[in-house]
Amino acid sequence: MPNITILSWNIGGVGYLRTVGAERVPKRNAINDELKNCLIDKYHPDFILLQEVVRYENAGGVREDIVDMAKIGSGYHYHWSMVIDTERNNHPEKWGPIRAEGGWGNNTYLAQGSAILWNDIIPHGSIWEHNNNNFSHDKFLEQEEVRLDNGIYAGNRDTEPRTATVSRFLVDKRDLLLVNLHLTTLKGEREGLPERDEAGSKIRLWQLDIILNGIVSRYNFWRENHKKFQNQPKPFWLLAGDFNGTEISPEIQKLKRMRFQDVSPIEDAVGSGSGTKRIRGKKGRPLRWIIFLQELSTMHLIRTK
């Protein structure tokens, strides 16, 4: 298995939507410069998983993403996945303040989601495709999206929809299944309110149950009982994204008990020590860029932002 480099970044795109029109272009340029100069040019990653990526209707009435592929340049493909938008979850408590602060029109389309950038030499295909010869190198990614929430969206952070996306790539003739996730965090967590901390942890444990049982186990079981897959090597799974937990959180410890290796990050890390990292190394801060890997001892170079 060759070395592969994977980065994960919560891009914080809602802050961009709150930016007034005159300042949007410089802010978007700054975000894309950071993506290009500090991540791509520095690490030359095979994959970049992004959370809180926004899409919006620009002044010309055209929908565009905060990620500008014209600035990223050649060598990478990009795929965006919607989690929440003004057409399906148009709650005034969510979008009203954003429209007011950013100066968006009442009917302007706004959306928030996740995305993935990958090296365009890496083939990809549907998770249901048994013939690797049918994999593609083009920019059209066949991705599975799984909802991690239940119930109506009330316009606040506590009830905001969450998803996990599953993408399949072929690395050295073996399947790599990438799960890009962004778990729930509740208002008041890690602010001296134990009840909120416990409630948030329970929700994230429930969301991880969906990921581990409803995605990983369900797919592995289906694949093991599908004749056309039986002679192929087992896939390896990689969970990455914004877990919104801490190193000692029950949900993070559960992943380790389930034989997922904490491989984030190995070098150039924020903070000290090995394994999972907090943003800026501060105690009690949530784990935002973290990667867990299931049963693959030969993958040994993974970096995160």
- What was the pLDDT predicted at 196? 94
Mean pLDDT of all residues in the chain?
87
For 92, the enclosing helix (H) or strand (E) is helix 92-102
Return the pLDDT at 147.
Answer: 95
Confidence of residue 247 (pLDDT cuts 50, 70, 90): confident
Asked if the model's pLDDT at residue 278 lies above 90, the reply is: no
Measured at the alpha carbon of residue 200, what is the angle toward residues 10 and 181, in degrees to the nearest 5? 35
Report the residue count for the chain. 305
pTM given for the model = 0.88
Q: Check residue 131 and give its pLDDT.
A: 92
pLDDT tens track for 223-242: 999 999 988 888 989 999 99
Query: What is the phi-psi region of residue 159: left when phi exceeds 0, alpha when psi lies from -120 to 50, beta otherwise?
Result: alpha
Q: What is the pLDDT of residues 59-96, one digit of tens each?
A: 899 999 999 999 999 999 999 999 999 999 999 999 99
pLDDT at 162 over 90: yes
CB-neighbour burial class of residue 182 (10 A; exposed 0-12, middle 13-18, buried 19+): buried
Residue 295 predicted with pLDDT over 60: no
Going along the chain from its start, the domains and CATH numbers come out as 6-294 (3.60.10.10)
Query: What is d(CA 136, CA 247) in angstroms, rounded to the nearest whole number?
Result: 38
Q: Which residues of 59-82 are buried (b: 16+ CB within 10 A; e: fewer)?
A: eeeeeebbbbeeebeeebbbbbbb
